């Protein structure tokens, strides 16, 4: 999802046009080929990019859609894998393409770059909001019934922990060199495995796997589909990972391996969670775990680590863009002010919309489908429309994917917005 795209966005998306990068690419091309990422390293990078916070909401997604929706989950995985291949082909059209916005610019000029940037920044912003909601929810579950008296106001539970998390993460947003945070966030793959093992452990030793669950819930399908797409939407980082690869011709094999591993991980989490808690699943499976148990604490603490590291990485591209537009990028004090205000705005959003599942469904239905499904298809058709290499059958498939994506996006976005508004 977007949270893992941030390193690539920070390096490739902020204010560097392809015309500037082209000579740099030419001058350092031989060195890049010698020092490019290996096949194994690239597999890890893509798998890490795909292993996002969607792992927490995937059991809830299955409970919303019912068992049959698990088939749609696999369809979503295949569609996102295919659009990943389309991104690779778009990059093959010009060796100077090194980022997602480069593809948009190559296909539609500067307007294409702007449109891609807008959707990416909105997605990153809402993912940052979801990080704060996640921290508040899980800390409240770990330490229930806490409250704080401030003047005449009583701040309870989720709000208290959300504010505390924001204060703790604030200094990390001021950093310009985020290498240390990048290494921490690279533990996303390991964290997902630990979370899955913890859930299995709790199921075996505590809750069991007897819940039946619904076969199909039509009213919950839009929410389920939106959450399914959240699991596989890291396409904005694919171009940069592809550009950094030593043997770029093998990128399609990387996608096969990474999508297979993540599909297995997400699918296993969904099935385990639904068998354990059935239709009583909450928006984050960690909120269902029994309090005080070792397995629950391991799962929750594992869940809490990544957002602390990734929040700064997620918000930095937006901050850099704002600073660049306001010419603040050379003034340290102004940079700190911009990043502090940006954090404050996400805190206010998180306090206003404290519904993790509905927010993630909106991100998946609207933003993720746009960035990971519709944009790759549109760019591919535009770039190869006059090419003799065009395959008519494939064009029909691509158009079919686009039409389906639009329908899912419209229905899912409407459904998630209605749920958010009705819960306020």
How far apart, in whole angstroms, are the C-alpha atoms of residue 136 and residue 163? 8
Q: Which two tokens stand for residue 77?
A: 């995985």
Q: Which helix (H) or strand (E) holds 257?
A: helix 251-277
CB 161 within 8 A of CB 133: no
- Give the residue carrying structure tokens 């269902």: 288
CATH number for region 2-423: 1.20.1740.10
249: number of Cβ within 10 Å: 9
pLDDT of residue 70: 95
Most confident segment among 22-31, 60-69, 90-99, 167-176: 60-69
- 53 Cβ partners below 8 Å, 6+ apart? 1, 3, 127, 130, 131, 134, 230, 306, 307, 360
- 154 Cβ partners below 8 Å, 6+ apart? 147, 148
Please classify residue 210 by burial: count the beta carbons closer than 10 Å to its beta carbon, then call 0-12 exposed, 13-18 middle and 19+ buried. Answer: exposed
The least confident of 67-71, 259-263, 308-312 is: 308-312
Kindly report the average pLDDT of the chain as a whole number.
81
Residue bearing the bigger pLDDT, 326 or 4: 326
What are the C-alpha distances in Å from 316 to residues 3, 6, 418? 11, 8, 30
pLDDT of residue 27: 46
Q: What is the CA radius of gyration of the chain?
A: 21
Residue 4 has pLDDT above 70, yes or no: no
What are the C-alpha distances in Å from 14 to residues 44, 121, 187, 320, 337? 25, 11, 25, 7, 19
Q: Please write the tens of the pLDDT for every residue from 115-154.
A: 998 888 888 888 888 888 888 888 887 777 777 776 666 6
pLDDT of residue 18: 40
SS3 category, 148: strand
CB 320 within 8 A of CB 14: yes
Boundaries of every domain in the chain: 2-423
Residue 401 has pLDDT above 60, yes or no: yes
- Give the residue carrying structure tokens 């809750």: 207
Average pLDDT of 97-125?
A: 89
Q: Please write the tens of the pLDDT for every residue from 206-216.
A: 888 888 889 99
What pLDDT band is residue 188 in, cutting at 50, 70 and 90?
low
Which long-range contacts (C-beta less than 8 Å, at least 24 apart) are formed by 39-46? 39/245, 39/246, 39/247, 39/250, 39/253, 39/254, 42/241, 42/244, 42/245, 42/250, 42/251, 42/254, 43/254, 43/257, 43/258, 44/189, 45/241, 45/244, 46/234, 46/238, 46/241, 46/254, 46/255, 46/258
The least confident of 81-90, 143-152, 167-176, 183-192 is: 183-192
Residue 375 has pLDDT above 90, yes or no: yes
SS3 category, 174: coil
Q: Which two tokens stand for residue 322?
A: 């704002």
How far apart, in whole angstroms, are the C-alpha atoms of residue 167 and residue 175? 15
Most confident segment among 49-63, 247-261, 382-396: 247-261
How far apart, in whole angstroms, are the C-alpha atoms of residue 285 and residue 273? 7
What pLDDT band is residue 387 in, cutting at 50, 70 and 90?
low
Q: Please write the tens of the pLDDT for every residue from 307-316.
A: 776 787 778 7
How far apart, in whole angstroms, are the C-alpha atoms of residue 384 and residue 388? 8
How far apart, in whole angstroms, are the C-alpha atoms of residue 316 and residue 324? 12
CB 219 within 8 A of CB 40: no
221: number of Cβ within 10 Å: 21
Q: Please write the tens of the pLDDT for every residue from 21-60.
A: 444 444 444 444 456 778 887 887 788 778 777 888 899 9
- Compute the C-alpha angle 181/187/193, nearest 5°: 155
How far apart, in whole angstroms, are the C-alpha atoms of residue 173 and residue 225? 32
pLDDT of residue 379: 94
Average pLDDT of 257-276?
A: 93
């Amino acid at each position: 999802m977007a949270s893992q795209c941030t390193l690539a966005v920070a390096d490739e998306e902020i204010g560097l046009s392809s015309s500037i990068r082209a000579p740099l690419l030419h001058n350092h091309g031989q060195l890049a080929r010698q020092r490019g990422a290996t096949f194994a390293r690239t597999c890890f990078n893509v798998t890490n990019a795909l292993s996002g916070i969607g792992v927490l909401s995937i059991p809830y997604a299955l409970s919303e859609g019912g068992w049959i929706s698990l088939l749609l989950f696999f369809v979503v995985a295949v569609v996102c894998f295919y659009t990943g291949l389309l991104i690779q082909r778009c990059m093959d059209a010009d060796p100077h393409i090194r980022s997602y916005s480069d593809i948009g610019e190559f296909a539609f000029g500067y307007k294409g770059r702007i449109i891609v940037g807008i959707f990416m920044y909105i997605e990153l912003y809402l993912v940052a909001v979801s990080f704060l909601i996640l921290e508040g929810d899980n800390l409240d579950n770990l330490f229930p019934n806490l409250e704080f008296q401030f003047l005449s106001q009583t701040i309870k539970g989720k709000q208290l922990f959300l504010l505390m998390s924001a204060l703790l993460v604030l200094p990390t947003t001021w950093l310009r060199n985020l290498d240390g945070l990048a290494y921490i966030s690279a533990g996303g793959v390991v964290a997902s495995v630990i979370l899955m093992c913890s859930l299995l452990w709790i199921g075996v030793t505590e809750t069991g796997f007897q819940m039946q669950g619904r076969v199909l819930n039509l009213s919950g399908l839009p929410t389920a589909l939106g959450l399914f797409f959240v699991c596989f939407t890291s396409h904005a980082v694919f171009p940069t990972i592809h550009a950094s690869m030593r043997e770029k011709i093998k990128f399609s094999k990387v996608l096969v391996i990474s999508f297979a591993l993540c599909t297995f991980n997400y699918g296993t989490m969904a099935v385990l969670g639904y068998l354990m808690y059935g239709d009583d699943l909450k928006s984050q499976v960690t909120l269902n775990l029994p309090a005080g148990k070792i397995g629950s604490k391991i799962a929750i603490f594992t869940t809490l680590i990544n957002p602390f590291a990734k929040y700064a990485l997620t918000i930095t591209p937006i901050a850099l863009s704002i600073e660049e537009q306001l010419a603040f990028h050379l003034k340290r004090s102004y940079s700190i002010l911009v990043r502090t205000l940006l954090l404050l705005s996400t805190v206010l959003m998180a306090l206003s919309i404290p519904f993790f599942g509905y927010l993630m469904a909106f991100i998946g239905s609207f933003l993720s489908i746009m960035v990971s499904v519709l944009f790759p298809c549109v760019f591919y058709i535009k770039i190869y429309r006059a090419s003799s290499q065009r395959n008519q059958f494939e064009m029909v498939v691509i158009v079919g994917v686009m039409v389906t994506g639009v329908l899912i996006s419209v229905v899912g976005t409407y459904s998630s917005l209605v749920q958010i508004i009705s819960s306020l």
